[in-house]
Structure 1
Amino acid sequence: MPHRYDLLVIGDANPDVIVGPLTEPLAFDQREQLVDTGSLTLGGSAAIMACGAARLGLKVAFAGRVGDDDAGHYVRDTLAGHGVDTGALHLDPALPTPMTVVLTQYEDRAVLTSPGTLTTTSGADVPAGLIAAARHVHSASYFLQPRLAADLPDLFRTARSHGATTSLDTQDDPSGTWTGLDAVLAGTDILLPNAAEARRLAGPQARTPEEAAGLLAARGPLTVVKNGADGALCHDGRQLLSVPALPVRPKDTVGAGDSFDAGFVAATLDGLPLLEALRFAAACGALSTRAHGGTPAQPTRDEALSHLTRTGAPTS
């Protein structure tokens, strides 16, 4: 049976309030500090990835849970406005929509999140027919959604039984434990951490992103590591590949990794070789930094390919 969707994304969606950059330490005692920019935009690693994939031309569905409140309606309407099918985005009457404040400072940022419905999002929010209808299933923010994390191994196994591939971007672990992933990694085709996350996931023996990628790939998944100004790399259990960062003048790096994820999944579904997929994903991540927020500057496929051509990176 042909798949109705190229991609099903499962996970977090919330409004992001992004302010910054801070040029001095954050002050309390009711001090008011002025920053250059502030924006309200769609946030959540899964939601940003879904929008990026839709922008690249994929047919995308989203499954998750938000509150039945103004913030939840904003999330649903914004996803739909980006071309994402929100039929499986449930509106919870009991809990509020998650909210995130992102405070930027130079190339770094602090992230404050009120979990809301993240604590109740689970595999029950993902219709079985939707999993069967997707060529690829992606999930994000594993450590923020404990019920979904517990159900994700079964969801990924079901997806694979229908011929789909799977990917996971764990994002940060607020508890700092970075454990409990063995079952889900066994069903994950592509793991998409950033360099700091990769080292923590791999354990203390991983001194570099390259070592971390190799150790994680040995546990099963193709491991693709976003390495900031140093570009990106991947390890398939046999060889390590890397690409440099692409030149761009960033205004805001929020969501760049999620746009990278969208690019890598899109390129993989197109059947591109690993090195070309890595370059394409790097272009998608870089171009997403041209505006404030995770989604406003996400590139089309033609924009990403054109950027690769202008910067001299090989394309197929």
Structure 2
Amino acid sequence: MSATSPTYDLLVIGDANPDVVVGPLSGPFAYGQREQLVSNGVLTLGGSAAIMACGAARLGLKVAFAGRIGADDTGRWVRGALAARGVDVSALTVDPDLPSPLTAVLTRGADQGGDRAILTAPGTLATTGGDDVPPALLADCRHVHAASYFLMPKLAAALPDLFRTARGHGATTSLDTNDDPAGSWDPAGIAAVLPVTDFLLPNAQEARALYGTDSLEAAAAGLAARGPLVVVKDGADGALAHDGRTLLRTPAIPVAPLDTVGAGDSFDAGLVAGVLSGLSTADALALAAACGALSTRAHGGTGAQPTWDEALAAASGTTAPDPGHNHGENK
């Protein structure tokens, strides 16, 4: 790392797109040109990487984003939405040929299990790759986070080298794979990236699938043995962290959720912000759980993301040093 301090606390690389979130749907989804009414609908910024970047900026970190959008109105909207939340978008590449991604999310109410269905048109995700990440940014940040590993195969293939380069400059790294639509979970690719990943951030279902076991604790321990600290989001059961030797748990923060879309990405933002501020693993885990829970207070992934002070207050009295920026005000 250079003698001067990095410009950015965090570089996020990955997906950015609008989310059209509608619901909750109380009964079965109907085809046959039937029109069904739901109580809420929102157009909001989506993409795991984009939501995480906004959450981190809200917590006070200086954040840059690298990814790819289309040369269309959708892409221009995404760029503006990220910038409005304090994220530097100067490295957001415009693809001249493919459209920007778009995701539709259909939610179900708590009486229906609180689940959601996600439909994504990939667009530029297919062409997002390592060349979209400027080397200068990898050398000028404290931490690099990547998301939606399975949606961007070109970026996934480049990720080990990108993470290795960032670590060579003194940065730490994290990965949230998210779901694999193909269901293959790319064992060879995951095996290549985990040794250069400092923090692996799956949810419980993803952790089990990545390791190939029904036991969450065994999955966390096994993945941690491959290199990273494994931090797992476990819904109503809170979250856990495993370093290959020790298992830590934190309870869920009680909230009455309106919408859980993006909660895991806000959790990721809290975990990274906590680590960069010097918190212990246990305290960073509690802060992350608070960020995930508080983000569910509004519809969409970014509308209720907490400030640093709000997250600390919700994390059961956790105290922490100043994260080095202006406590969650958008830049």
For the criterion TM > 0.5, the same-fold answer is yes
- What per-residue deviation string (whole Å, max 9, x for no partner) do you get for residues 78-105 of structure 1? 0000000000001111100000000001
Q: Distance in 1 between matches of 2:294 and 2:171?
A: 28
Pair 1:139 & 2:146 matched = yes
Contact 2:60 2:307 in 1 (8 A): yes
Deviation at 1:315, TM superposition (A): 4.0
Number of the residue aligned with 2:207: 198
1:156-235 aligned within 5 A: 156-179=163-186, 180-203=189-212, 206-235=213-242
The alignment's C-alpha RMSD in Å is 0.8
Residue 94 of structure 1: aligned partner: 97
Q: CA deviation at 1:213?
A: 0.6
2:255 is equivalent to residue 243 of structure 1: no
Map of 1:214-293 to 2, 5 A cutoff? 214-293=221-300
Match of 2:326 in 1: none
Measure the CA separation in 1 of the matches of 2:234 and 2:127. Answer: 32
Q: Does 1:70 align with 2:73?
A: yes
SS for the counterpart of 1:186 is helix
SS in structure 2 of the partner of residue 151 of structure 1? helix
CA shift, 1:308, in A, is: 2.4
TM-score normalised by length of structure 2: 0.93
What percentage of residue pairs aligned between the two structures are identical? 69
AA of the residue aligned to 2:91: A
Q: Which amino acid aligns with 1:49?
A: M
Q: Secondary structure at the match of 2:21?
A: strand
**2:125 matched residue in structure 1:** 118
Look up the equivalent residue of 1:120 and give its one-letter code.
Answer: T
For residues 210 and 298 of structure 1, the distance between their equivalents in structure 2, rounded to whole angstroms, comes to 29
Q: Could you tell me which runs of 5 or more consecutive residues in structure 2 were left unpaired when the two chains were aligned.
A: 321-331
Over residues 122-145 of structure 1, what are the superposed CA-to-partner deviations in whole Å (9 max), with x where a residue is unaligned?
000011001100100000000000
Secondary structure at the residue paired with 1:21?
A: strand
> 2:45, 2:78 within 8 Å by CA — same for their partners in 1?
yes
Write the deviation string for residues 190-213 of structure 1: whole angstroms up to 9, x where unpaired: 00000000000011xx22222211
Of residues 152, 155, 161 in structure 2, which corresponds to 1:148? 155
SS in 2 for 1:279: helix
Instruction: Tell me how far apart the structure 2 counterparts of residues 298 and 256 of structure 1 sit (CA, whole Å).
Output: 9
Shift of 1:16: 0.2
Higher relative contact order (CA 8 A, sep 6+): 2
Q: Which residue of 1 aligns with 2:107?
A: 104
What is the identity, as a one-letter code, of the residue corresponding to 1:141?
Answer: S
The CA distance in 1 between the partners of 2:19 and 2:235, in whole Å, is 21
- Counterpart residue identity of residue 102, structure 2: M
SS in 2 for 1:196: helix
